[in-house]
Amino acid sequence: MTTETLTVRDLGLRARAAARVLRSLPTARKVAALHAVARELRARATGILAANARDVAAAEAAGLPAHMVDRLRLNAASLAAIAADVEAVARLPDPVGERTGEKQLPSGIRVSQMRVPLGVLGVIYESRPNVTVDVAALALMSGNAVLLRGGKETVGSNAALEDAVRAALASQDLPAEAVQVIRDPARERMLELLRLDDLVDAIIPRGGAGLHRYCVENATVPVIVGGIGVVHIYLDGSFTRDPADVARAAELIRNAKVQKPSACNALDTLLVHREALPALPAIARDLAAHGVTLRADPPALAALQAAGVEAQPATASDYGTEFLALTASIRTVGGLEEALDFIAAHGNHTDVILTRDPAQAERFVQDVDSAAVMVNASPRFNDGGQLGLGAEVAISTQKLHARGPMGLAELTTTKWVVMGDGHIRA
């Protein structure tokens, strides 16, 4: 029976068996497996890139939005970076087996909590073939098996990447079924995965709000929601009193919007203190020079038009929108309290304050209830690699189990270990 003819349940059964092997695998063998994956990716680069080129051509012919095509596209440099990321995961500390809170209780028993793999993960995503490898690497290093379901636009790319990973595992005498791609892109297969609660321990969707909502509403497997949300930067007046700070703000805001506009941690809405409006044209001119369409409220629009910077009037729908493109909205606020209220109504992903006032910075950090809160730093740092986790499975915006970038530790859970010597409960 070929991979293409296996049912989702068949894949789940094989993944569960593979997870039994991985959960107690020594760190050295997991590291060796990841290095084997990196070697296979490099050795198969020509075939992988050819498969990806066919996917990209089909996506463009089908009229897929530009930001989705951007996420889909691989080249020699990006594939080399993916292989390097696998090796970076291999260098990370292995969380499996860590024991915490060890103590002896009055009864005489000794207790601790040990970190263990979740088991079998189901990851559903759109467009990004790099996710196939990132997730495989993190799953293997954390002792988990994984079922991957990409979008129909990535079928060829994901099949080629899966073949490379499975060949690497087989070369290390490990079960290739530890990493499996559901190659049938039909929505019925996704629904089957969402309801495979006797074999799959967690579903992690990566995509738009519609995908997340579909998973939450249809899954019987626990779903870890994340990767969507509006990103804000609040520009405080204190950060625009020095021309050098205005230049820093312009560079940071450009990085937040332009470096990778299709990323979930790219800037969506710039909140500007009224005192900072005189500095806004310089910042906006920099953005416009890089192709960013600006949509501003009346005070910001007036400041921009007076300086000859092109912008459009903002509508209500321009706030609370994740653009994933070279578009940003601007909203003027009277101070920190108004900015905090606005973020509370629209944010939960990544929020930034640019300020020279330590009290304002501390209040922002304490009050903003988002997965990541930053002071004087680009929101693009909300990424597993940038925060020292290695590659990430997703950025969780929920509050149970994991929040923020999900690296190795977030793909594990704990179990109690009790040691005694014939102890009985009185």
DSSP symbols for 24-39: T--HHHHHHHHHHHHH
Sign, CA dihedral 277-282-287-291, equals: positive
Whether 188 and 333 map to the same domain: the answer is no
Whether 217 and 291 map to the same domain: the answer is no
Residue 227 pLDDT grade (very low, low, confident, very high; cuts 50, 70, 90): low
Specify the 3-state DSSP secondary structure of 177: helix
- What does the pLDDT look like over 282-338, one tens digit per residue? 999 999 999 999 999 999 999 999 999 999 999 999 999 999 899 999 999 999 999
- Give the pTM: 0.83
pLDDT at 3: 56
Whether 154 and 191 map to the same domain: the answer is yes
**In the predicted model, what is the mean pLDDT of residues 359-365?**
97
The yes-or-no verdict on residue 221 having pLDDT over 80 is: yes
Exposed, middle or buried: residue 173 (CB in 10 Å: 0-12, 13-18, 19+)? exposed
How far, in Å, are 17, 140, 159, 179, 359 from residue 163 at the CA level?
Answer: 19, 16, 6, 10, 53
Whether 72 and 218 map to the same domain: the answer is yes
DSSP state of 63: T
Whether 175 and 209 map to the same domain: the answer is yes
Are 374 and 381 within 8 A, CB to CB?
yes
Q: How far is 281 from 391, CA to CA, in rounded Å? A: 37
Residue 2 pLDDT grade (very low, low, confident, very high; cuts 50, 70, 90): very low
Q: Which run of H or of E encompasses 333? A: strand 327-333
Whether 95 and 236 map to the same domain: the answer is no
Q: Which two tokens stand for residue 77?
A: 């440099």
Determine which of 21-35, 96-110, 306-320, 378-392 has the lowest per-residue pLDDT on average: 378-392
Q: Is position 142 within any domain?
A: yes
CB atoms inside a 10 Å sphere around CB 423? 13
- What does the pLDDT look like over 139-191, one tens digit per residue? 999 999 999 999 999 999 999 999 999 999 999 999 999 999 999 989 999 99
| Closest alpha carbon to 227 in 71, 120, 355, 422 | 71
Percent of the chain surpassing pLDDT 90? 83
- Name the residue range of residue 274's domain: 230-381
Q: Is position 425 within any domain?
A: no
**In the predicted model, what is the mean pLDDT of residues 66-78?**
90
Q: Is position 87 within any domain?
A: yes
Whether 193 and 253 map to the same domain: the answer is no
Q: How many domains does the chain have?
A: 2
pLDDT at 60: 95
Whether 260 and 206 map to the same domain: the answer is no
Q: Is position 391 within any domain?
A: no
Are 375 and 361 within 8 A, CB to CB?
yes
| Closest alpha carbon to 394 in 120, 143, 206, 201 | 206
pLDDT at 309: 95
**Torsion angle, alpha carbons of 158, 162, 163, 164, to 10:** 110
DSSP state of 421: S
Q: How far is 231 from 326, CA to CA, in rounded Å? A: 14
Helix/strand/coil (H/E/C) assignment for every residue in 227-268: CCCEEEEEECHHHCCCHHHHHHHHHHHHHHHHCCCCCCCCCC
Q: How far is 410 from 403, CA to CA, in rounded Å? A: 9
| Closest alpha carbon to 250 in 230, 264, 268, 270 | 270
Q: Is position 336 within any domain?
A: yes
Domain CATH for 259? 3.40.309.10
pLDDT at 389: 77
Q: How far is 236 from 339, CA to CA, in rounded Å? A: 10
Return the amino acid letter for 370. S
Q: Is position 396 within any domain?
A: no
Whether 99 and 136 map to the same domain: the answer is yes
The yes-or-no verdict on residue 414 having pLDDT over 60 is: yes
Are 144 and 19 within 8 A, CB to CB?
yes
Whether 8 and 141 map to the same domain: the answer is yes
Q: Is position 388 within any domain?
A: no
CA angle 57, 63, 69 (to 5 degrees): 55
Beta strands in 99-255 (DSSP E): 99-104, 110-117, 120-125, 145-149, 179-181, 202-206, 230-235
Percent of the chain surpassing pLDDT 70? 99
CB atoms inside a 10 Å sphere around CB 338? 16
Q: Is position 62 within any domain?
A: yes
Q: Which run of H or of E encompasses 122? A: strand 120-125
Whether 38 and 143 map to the same domain: the answer is yes
**In the predicted model, what is the mean pLDDT of residues 37-49?**
98
Domain CATH for 44? 3.40.605.10
pLDDT at 56: 96
Q: Which two tokens stand for residue 306?
A: 């007076």
- Average pLDDT of the residues of the chain: 94
Whether 413 and 353 map to the same domain: the answer is no
